[in-house]
Structure 1
Amino acid sequence: MSFSAVDIAPRAPEAAAALRPDRHTALALAAAALVMGLGQTTLFTFLPLLMAHTGLSLARITAAFAIGSGLFLIGAPLWSRLSDFLGRRSVVAIALGGFALSHALLLWQMGQGADWQGQGAMLMLGRVIYGLTVSGLVPTCQAWLADLSSAEQRLGVLSRLSASLTLGRLLGPALAACSLWLDPLGPLWLMALAAWPALLLLPFTRQAARQGKAAVRERLGWQGMAAWLALAGLMQLALGQVQYALGPLLGSRFGLSASAASATLGWLLTACALVVLVLQLWLVPRCRAGRPLLLAGGLALLASGVLLALPGPLSLIWIGFLLLGVAAALLVPTYTTLASLAVGGAGQARVAGVLAAAHTVGFSLAAALAGWLFGLWPAAPFWLAGLAGLAVIVLACLLRLPARAD
């Protein structure tokens, strides 16, 4: 299979200068990504509240959330394609509206009491709304920024968008804990209201031109996309393997209690997110998207898997987990940028959508494999993460880069 990519015609300096997201647009899209990050981590803080107020079992709740997440496989490519016709702003508004509506329904549901017979159906309805609407948020934001940026600016703007998502994940648990001091349902109020600031900023954004039928007519070179989809799947496979298996490993290898293992994992996740945030805000935007960043990310991923798999002190776990953050910070914006450059102007939304779907597939595969592999051999998920890093290095050596990234 060929990994060649479509060349990009160079832009004139004045055209490149004109293609720059203005401050209002960058702020609105950063706020939208931050909302998405808040939702991803705050979710875990109100699971006990949800069980107590609805009377639903953890299995029924997690099943509903899993179905909502699975709908991202449908929603991300679909909304990305529709944004070519409806416009990026409209799709981002729909996604933020779906975020607000799904959490408002959840808040209303929790006020109905555990005896209400519609608890299960209402929870499922809210998660279906979430999955079918919010799935379009991040890929459409990526496509919008790609529309408004030149090839030279692309890595920087996409890296800052990823940093906003990471910041939201960092702030989510802290804001949820603070909101509990104000109201027992504080985390739900936080989620129901979080999307409104970003929604109110949207009218002040600079709208990207609609692609319309041009996006359908353009040949996107999907054979050349295979490498970028493989990189996206491998990164999320490795990330999921480590995240799902590290808690049990801390307990079995170091004899930590469940609460101690959870606390240690929480600190590891926080430190890792800080590493990602710092690198994506200050280092990655100063680099050029290309083979060196892919190789560095692959090496970090390989080293992370090996260090986590090998027996040793807890400090080895810390180093390995922080290297996982380095790998994510380098790889995700780099392969997203290179895929964006590879397909040309009219394919931005569609490539963002399929990359989001590849992320979902990789992380879902990790969820399916991690427990089984850990049961066979506790180090197996981490060796698989290391093999994913090795595969990234091989791909980085074999693929041909878009012309503007050479």
Structure 2
Amino acid sequence: MSQLSPSSEIAGKPTSHTFSHTMLLTAVAVTALGQTLVFTLLPSLGRATGMTEMQVGLIISCSALVFALASPVWGTLSESLGRKRVMVIGLSGYSLGTLSFAVVFDLGLRGGLVGIGLVAALVLSRMLQAAIMAATPAAAAAYTADITTPAQRTQGMGRIGAANNVGTVVGPVSGGILATVALVFPLYGVAALTALMAISVALWLPPSPHRPTTRTVPLRSVLRHGLAAYADPRLRDLLLVGVMLFMSFALIQQTLGFLFQDQFQMSPAEAARALGLTMMMAALTSLSGQLIVVQWLKAPATLLVALAVPSIGAGAIILWLAEAEALMSGAVMLVGLGLGFGMPAIMSLASLRVPTEEQGRVAGLASACPALGFIVGPLVGTGLYTLDQRWPYLLVITLLAPMSILAWRLARKV
């Protein structure tokens, strides 16, 4: 499979490269905005429609499983269909999926759909959405690998992470503001925004320097090749680190909204605003860490992983012990800083371990790490929360040992 040299492409068309990266980063930011907004609203929407904590966790876990399975498959498809086309498919599916998710929740809030029927409809709509939206992060990461040299790879993936954090900052704020109109109203806004982004990418994103294959690849072959990435021994340690980092984040994010409601007697709308503000501050911390340490100081990827583990661990310890809302918010900021270091490092290391013809598949695998963490995290976290409100954070603390060992082994490989 042929591919242009990223360095020659960048040298030859600097303006086109800058515009391409801007469009890519905007698409990533819009996707992150929608995801964070949904995660922020779910605890409040769940309580408002009479769902239990475990049922809310089930929605996230089921959709995360589908996302994780679909992500490397879409990354593999981007080798034959092209990065741009796959991104348009992902954004379009995200828009339609969010619209259906919003309609189902609207029915639940109005009493038209209740109980198990409501939960089943939400799980199904979110799973269908995840199956298609997984295309966008995988294609965006592969496109970034196409237009960066190996020396630029960590910074390039860091910009993807920074864009993700910009969306994470804007998402909770916009969600909190729009939720004052109606609790489900922000979901309709996300559907409209991602539809506009899909149109923008289709019209204005230049093609990637990667040259897609012209032959039609059988679906069975794409599925087999894409899913085989999970068994690749070259990537196993990176996959484990990424999954544990995001599982830790999921344990915290999906229980904090309930904790705010229960410990501080907040209403669902108040808890949505408080959690949104907390996640916004965490995203700002993550963004600052990426800009200073990744982009400015150009820290190596293995050092970034080593910094991520203690940062997340310190946040979990504070959450386990703290009683004040301000301390809890500060703890989540530390967790956000850890993710800001860890995410671009995992994506960069994975990209550098494979040749150019495997960039799509590996970009999909790296993009699946958040979803893999969210398969187990929400269900386990909400389950532990029903037993004791602080047990989810104790579990994050216990994950520090295996994460530290893996981070040390990554550093030894360099």
TM-score normalized by structure 2? Answer: 0.77
Mapped contact 2:58–2:378 kept (Cα < 8 A)? no
CA distance in structure 1 between the aligned counterparts of 2:40 and 2:381, rounded to whole angstroms: 23
Flag the 1:201–1:246 CA change in 2: closer, same or farther, 3 A.
Answer: closer
Mapped contact 1:300–1:389 kept (Cα < 8 A)? no
- 2:149: which partner in 1? 150
Match of 1:370 among 365, 368, 381: 381
- Partner deviation per Cα, 1:229-266 (whole Å, 9 max, x = no partner): 011111011112222344555677xx522347665544
Unaligned residue ranges in structure 2 (runs of 5+): none
Larger mean CA deviation between 176-185 and 25-34 belongs to 176-185
Mapped contact 2:96–2:191 kept (Cα < 8 A)? yes
Match of 2:371 among 360, 364, 386: 360
Mapped contact 2:302–2:411 kept (Cα < 8 A)? no
- Partner deviation per Cα, 1:360-381 (whole Å, 9 max, x = no partner): 2222212222234345555433
Mapped contact 2:309–2:400 kept (Cα < 8 A)? yes
The residue identity in structure 1 corresponding to 2:345 is T
- Partner deviation per Cα, 1:83-139 (whole Å, 9 max, x = no partner): 11111111101111112223445677769x866999999766643441221011112
- 2:240: which partner in 1? 230
CA distance in structure 1 between the aligned counterparts of 2:249 and 2:321, rounded to whole angstroms: 17
- 1:159: which partner in 2? 158
The residue identity in structure 2 corresponding to 1:130 is Q
Mapped contact 1:100–1:192 kept (Cα < 8 A)? yes
- 1:8: which partner in 2? none
The residue identity in structure 1 corresponding to 2:380 is L
Count of residues in correspondence between the two structures: 388
Flag the 1:376–1:107 CA change in 2: closer, same or farther, 3 A.
Answer: closer
CA distance in structure 2 between the aligned counterparts of 1:71 and 1:349, rounded to whole angstroms: 18
Flag the 1:17–1:196 CA change in 2: closer, same or farther, 3 A.
Answer: same
Q: Does structure 1 residue 96 correspond to structure 2 residue 91? A: yes
Larger mean CA deviation between 17-26 and 157-166 belongs to 17-26
Unaligned residue ranges in structure 1 (runs of 5+): 1-10
Larger mean CA deviation between 202-211 and 92-101 belongs to 202-211
CA distance in structure 1 between the aligned counterparts of 2:409 and 2:363, rounded to whole angstroms: 23
CA distance in structure 2 between the aligned counterparts of 1:119 and 1:249, rounded to whole angstroms: 24
| Residue pairs, 1:274-293, within 5 angstroms | 274-286=284-296, 287-293=298-304
What is the DSSP-based 3-state SS (H/G/I as helix, E as strand, rest coil) of the residue aligned with 1:71? helix
CA drift of 1:68 comes to 3.8
| Residue pairs, 1:172-211, within 5 angstroms | 172-176=171-175, 178=177, 186-202=185-201, 203-208=203-208, 209-210=210-211
What is the alpha-carbon root mean square deviation over aligned residues?
4.1
Match of 1:256 among 248, 257, 264: 264
CA distance in structure 1 between the aligned counterparts of 2:278 and 2:50, rounded to whole angstroms: 29
CA drift of 1:322 comes to 1.8
- Partner deviation per Cα, 1:36-91 (whole Å, 9 max, x = no partner): 1222133367779989xxx9764788866654443213221221111111111111
The residue identity in structure 2 corresponding to 1:157 is G
- 1:4: which partner in 2? none
Flag the 1:293–1:134 CA change in 2: closer, same or farther, 3 A.
Answer: same
The residue identity in structure 1 corresponding to 2:314 is A
CA distance in structure 1 between the aligned counterparts of 2:99 and 2:255, rounded to whole angstroms: 33
Match of 1:24 among 16, 19, 23: 19
Mapped contact 1:250–1:256 kept (Cα < 8 A)? yes
CA drift of 1:189 comes to 4.0
State the percentage of identical aligned residues: 23
Mapped contact 2:43–2:254 kept (Cα < 8 A)? no
Mapped contact 2:45–2:184 kept (Cα < 8 A)? no
| Residue pairs, 1:318-333, within 5 angstroms | 318-333=329-344
Larger mean CA deviation between 142-151 and 42-51 belongs to 42-51
What is the DSSP-based 3-state SS (H/G/I as helix, E as strand, rest coil) of the residue aligned with 1:142? helix
